[in-house]
Structure 1
């Protein structure tokens, strides 16, 4: 190892050494700081029993246990000073920033689906603000959800309205090199009434928008509920997938707590050469340090291919 590389490695390891030791002392399993094969991204709060609420301690803990990315749905709402602090920490640790939510989402009313000019302009304004946040925190991806269905319009008209809005948003994002990723949401367990529910639907929209700044967020938890057929759908939509998120079903907790064979799914994604981020958008199945350690162990087992 070159001297400068050794010095950098030592500097990165030092802040989290005590945190790393606390997990090792509380677990009989072998937890390692070696990077995972895929870029799994925890979120703030996932390991608070070990770290407390300090964001630097949380990111350092994640790094010390092999994670090389984070995601934060609420990044856009954080004060600029806190955004910069997160960005500086990620840069120091050579970690990547995953998705954050780019806009105000219409959970119970139409947003982009009905073509309302005022709602469209509000969305585009949110996208402009999100682009600046992405630049500040060195993020490449942001989450976009078209919103609730409009029961007064045929779905084809709604699709056309959504495509038009996303084309406008892409024109804003392309100069930044930022990608909005469209998340299909399940209608059974969490988000009844949402317009975008299936991967083939998201694929169709991305192809129609035809921009490098509009891709699919393939949330495996949602799609297991909505349509299943996970690996074949990954293959069919591959050219438009920009990001993955994870949660087992039922329960939306860490891999291994439900019915999805994440070892096989992760192996498949890795075999296709995916170098993006796999967001850990789920809860912990158990509380406290024991539950947090179980999350890390679950990813080690699912990444052992």
Structure 2
């Protein structure tokens, strides 16, 4: 892990990358959950010590257990408590709203509770992981909330288009215009 992180820092320097996505991996059914949490925290502290001098932030991403069964990190409160324990500006959360909606919903309250540890957001509606306005997430309210909080960092469009070709591209642009009109 440490060797890969050092190599990743060199890549980040060459490419001027500021964030590195980290997913802790699968949970071990033969080990108590609290020991696994302690191991994750300890390893992320080592990683943060490598990343911090380079100005790189690792963002840990909770993934939903329906699409990614068996992974250790699945919920925002879990990611928040891990980041707080690592206690480094180089260990933050990427809040993937698609995953969070599937796993726990309650998006705005979870964003609010985890605000100090969130560095970026991934966007995608559910069901289907397509552009906003195609599913159940009210992105207009979320964008308004983020704007009111003064958020000015990354909103990654991590989704497909609901329609193919040019029609899909136009629908995508219109969707973002709609959710950004508050």
Instruction: Deviation per CA, 1:3-23: give whole Å up to 9, x if none.
Output: xxxxxxxxxxxxxxxxxxxxx
> Does residue 225 of the first structure (1) align with residue 102 of the second (2)?
yes
Moved over 6 A (4+): none
CA root-mean-square deviation: 0.8
Match of 1:287 among 155, 161, 164: 164
Query: 1:128, CA displacement in angstroms?
Result: 1.4
Distance 1:291 1:161 in 2: 44
- Of the three residues 131, 151, 162, the one matched with 2:29 is 151
Q: Which is worse superposed, 206-215 or 125-134?
A: 125-134
Aligned residues: 182
Q: Show the counterpart of 2:75.
A: 198
Question: What TM-score does the superposition give when structure 2 sets the normalisation length?
Answer: 0.98
Within 5 Å, give how 1:121-200 maps onto structure 2.
Answer: 123-188=1-66, 190-200=67-77
Q: Which runs of 5 or more structure 1 residues have no equivalent in the other structure?
A: 1-122
**Is 1:215 the counterpart of 2:92 in the alignment?**
yes
Larger Rg belongs to: 1
Looking at structure 1, the residues matched to 33 and 18 of structure 2 have their Cα atoms a distance apart, in angstroms, of 30
Counterpart secondary structure, 2:134: coil
Structure 1 residue 273: Cα displacement: 0.8
CA distance in 1, matches of 2:139, 2:171: 15
Quote the Cα distance in structure 2 between the aligned partners of 1:244 and 1:143. Answer: 12
Q: Residue 297 in 1 paired to residue 174 in 2?
A: yes
Structure 2 gap segments, 5+ residues each: none
- Alignment deviations for residues 65-97 of structure 1 (CA, whole Å, 9 cap, x no partner): xxxxxxxxxxxxxxxxxxxxxxxxxxxxxxxxx
1:276 aligns with 2:153: yes
State the distance in 1 between where 2:2 and 2:12 align: 15
TM-score normalised per structure 1? 0.59
Q: Deviations over 1:82-126 (max 9, x none)?
A: xxxxxxxxxxxxxxxxxxxxxxxxxxxxxxxxxxxxxxxxx2222
1:234 pairs with 2:90: no
2:125 alignment counterpart: 248
Q: Cα deviation per residue 1:199-252 (whole Å; 9 max; x = unaligned)?
A: 000000000000000001100000000000000000000000011001000000
Distance (Å, rounded) in 2 between the aligned partners of 1:126 and 1:192: 25
